[in-house]
């Protein structure tokens, strides 16, 4: 094992100058689409049929299109903040969401934003642990029920599979940074298309077998108006959770080569990604609701547990697990960078923090080992796995995460940074529209947060 000096000069957030000197940007519109699709088509797509079931045939699809439009507008605003002072030619780059807030709104705002950024990245990790475990458990149940005819006697619970997924992430988390996982994003994106197509196809087949579409205009009936209100709030939260990739947009944009200008490429990639994901969301959500009606499950694929072609359902669940292995890293790597760069800034002389070692094991390629990376990232994965085991409530967890992070990261900060970058004067038409957009987003986010917290409390008490 050979010691190497780190030679690392860092700031509390991602160091733009360091990145420009040491990172070769080779990304294209298609690698950006792969990153976005990997981050967006994840656990959220599995909850959309349930969400449409709460909102009904009119409210459900319209809500998906509404959030798609908000996400696209937000991505356009945010992509213009990557360079400053000019969005295309400005000499100052922002290599992370926090870096962009720090540049355009100052250090105080960036520290406030850091709370939401890191909570969101951490929350996505928890959600992916829960979802991957559900899919692994579904594979086990399917095979066991086919062999024994009684899934009640089958093997292990979700906690066991959460531990397996966590062990995989401990190993993958040693990948140094975001620029080293393009291959993982491409593989995960392929998997996401595979299980989205399978889920959609199974739903279409179920509708055909039924001979009619289930569901109604008002959605699943409830015993009281207040119960319906909370379920609608959770449904809005699940749909909101399914879309925003704002927290990783700047990191993705920082991988792009130029020319053309990075914001032009990013807007094109965002448009392609939102159109593709919206198409899949509408198909999976609507056909899923049409297939199951009032019995629509919270996770679409669990509704096909006893499907006669169980191997196909097993394959779809396997695709979900592979996809979430990559998606976990897409959302975790920015948080790793934020924390580790801050520690390097605070402790520049610490060998534990800054020194790396080149390690060569028999039959394996050489890799770089850093003790900070090894300990912090292992502890991080262990904590997300532990929380997922304590609160394994799929739909409610998605709703709470959306309620906490959707407004600040997808609406408030993109709007504020865009206003500052463009020096837009108060009470002009553009200023009024953006402020109205921000206020509506705040009210929707608050509503989903309250409803989803109520859902978790009710689930835990019951």
Q: Per-residue confidence at 268, pLDDT binned at 50, 70, 90?
A: very high
Q: Per-residue confidence at 272, pLDDT binned at 50, 70, 90?
A: very high
Return the residue matching tokens 């909370």.
230
pLDDT at 122 over 80: yes
**Alpha carbon separation from 152 to 137, 258, 306 (Å, rounded):** 12, 56, 13
Which range, of 89-98, 358-367, 371-380, averages the lowest pLDDT? 358-367
- How far, in Å, CA of 276 to CA of 270, rounded? 10
Q: Per-residue confidence at 381, pLDDT binned at 50, 70, 90?
A: very high
Q: Per-residue confidence at 62, pLDDT binned at 50, 70, 90?
A: very high
Q: Per-residue confidence at 378, pLDDT binned at 50, 70, 90?
A: very high
Q: Per-residue confidence at 325, pLDDT binned at 50, 70, 90?
A: confident
How many CB atoms lie under 10 A from the CB of residue 432?
11
pLDDT at 20 over 70: no
pLDDT at 397 over 50: yes
pLDDT at 461 over 90: no
Q: Per-residue confidence at 127, pLDDT binned at 50, 70, 90?
A: confident
pLDDT at 310 over 80: no
Q: What is the pLDDT of residue 439?
A: 92
pLDDT at 21 over 50: no
Which range, of 42-51, 73-82, 304-313, averages the lowest pLDDT? 304-313
Q: What is the pLDDT of residue 177?
A: 64
pLDDT at 112 over 50: yes
- DSSP one-letter string for 377-395: HHHHHHHHHHHHHH---HH
The overall average pLDDT reported for the chain is 80
Q: Per-residue confidence at 150, pLDDT binned at 50, 70, 90?
A: low
Q: Interior CA angle at 169 toward 236 and 82, to 5°?
A: 60
**For residues 264-282, average pLDDT:** 89
Q: Per-residue confidence at 57, pLDDT binned at 50, 70, 90?
A: very high
- How far, in Å, CA of 218 to CA of 52, rounded? 10
Q: What is the pLDDT of residue 225?
A: 82
- How far, in Å, CA of 349 to CA of 154, rounded? 53
pLDDT at 333 over 60: yes
Q: Three-class SS of residue 113?
A: helix
Which range, of 1-5, 43-47, 145-149, 418-422, averages the lowest pLDDT? 1-5
State both tokens at 291: 């297939």
DSSP secondary structure code for residue 261 in this structure? P
State both tokens at 43: 């656990």
pTM value?
A: 0.76
**For residues 304-315, average pLDDT:** 74
**For residues 86-102, average pLDDT:** 81
**For residues 129-144, average pLDDT:** 81
High-pLDDT (> 70) share of the chain, %: 85
Q: What is the pLDDT of residue 17?
A: 40
More confident residue, 310 or 281: 281
pLDDT at 18 over 60: no
Among 329, 393, 400, 299, residue whose Cα is nearest residue 125: 329
Q: Is 40 exposed, middle or buried (0-12, 13-18, 19+ CB in 10 A)?
A: buried
pLDDT at 196 over 80: no
Q: Per-residue pLDDT tens for 338-365?
A: 788 888 888 888 888 887 777 766 766 6
Q: Per-residue confidence at 289, pLDDT binned at 50, 70, 90?
A: very high
DSSP secondary structure code for residue 303 in this structure? G
The CATH architecture assigned to 29-461 reads Up-down Bundle (1.20)
């Amino acid at each position: 094992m050979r010691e190497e000096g780190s030679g690392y000069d860092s700031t509390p957030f991602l160091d733009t100058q360091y990145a420009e000197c040491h990172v070769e940007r080779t990304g294209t519109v298609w690698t950006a689409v792969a990153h976005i699709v990997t981050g967006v088509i994840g656990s959220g797509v599995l909850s959309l049929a349930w969400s449409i079931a709460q909102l009904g045939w009119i409210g459900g699809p319209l809500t998906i299109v509404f959030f798609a439009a908000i996400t696209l507008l937000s991505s356009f605003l945010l992509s213009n903040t990557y360079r400053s002072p000019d969005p295309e030619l400005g000499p100052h780059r922002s290599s992370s969401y926090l870096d962009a807030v720090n540049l355009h709104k100052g250090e105080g705002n960036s520290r406030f934003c850091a709370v939401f950024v890191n909570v969101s990245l951490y929350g996505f990790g928890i959600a992916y642990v829960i979802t991957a475990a559900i899919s692994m458990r579904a594979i086990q149940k399917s095979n066991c029920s086919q062999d024994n005819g009684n899934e009640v006697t089958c093997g292990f619970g979700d906690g066991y599979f959460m531990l397996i997924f966590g062990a995989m992430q401990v190993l993958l988390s040693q990948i140094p940074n975001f620029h080293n996982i393009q291959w993982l994003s491409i593989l995960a994106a392929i998997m996401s298309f595979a299980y989205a197509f399978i889920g959609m196809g199974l739903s279409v087949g179920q509708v055909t077998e039924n001979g009619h579409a289930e569901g109604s205009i008002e959605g699943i009936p409830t015993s009281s108006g207040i119960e319906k209100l909370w379920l609608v709030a959770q449904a809005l939260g699940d749909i909101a959770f399914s879309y925003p990739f704002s927290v990783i947009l700047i990191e993705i944009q920082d991988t792009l080569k130029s020319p053309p200008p990075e914001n032009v490429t990013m807007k094109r990639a965002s448009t392609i990604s939102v159109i593709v994901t919206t198409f899949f969301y509408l198909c999976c959500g609507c056909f899923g609701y049409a297939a199951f009606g009032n019995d629509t499950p919270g996770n679409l694929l669990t509704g096909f547990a006893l499907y006669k072609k169980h191997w196909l359902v097993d394959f779809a669940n396997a695709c979900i697990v592979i996809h979430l292995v990559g998606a976990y890293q897409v959302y975790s790597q920015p948080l790793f960078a934020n924390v580790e760069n801050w520690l390097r800034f605070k402790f520049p002389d610490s060998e534990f923090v800054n020194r790396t070692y080149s390690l060569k094991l028999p039959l394996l390629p050489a890799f770089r080992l850093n003790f900070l990376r090894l300990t912090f990232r292992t502890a991080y994965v262990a904590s997300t796995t532990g929380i997922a085991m304590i609160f394994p409530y799929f739909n409610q967890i998605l709703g709470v995460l959306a309620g906490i992070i959707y407004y600040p990261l997808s609406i408030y900060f993109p709007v504020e940074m865009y206003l500052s970058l463009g020096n837009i004067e108060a009470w002009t038409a553009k200023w009024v529209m953006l402020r109205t957009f921000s206020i509506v987003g705040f009210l929707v986010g608050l509503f989903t947060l309250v409803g989803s917290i109520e859902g978790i409390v009710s689930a835990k008490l019951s």
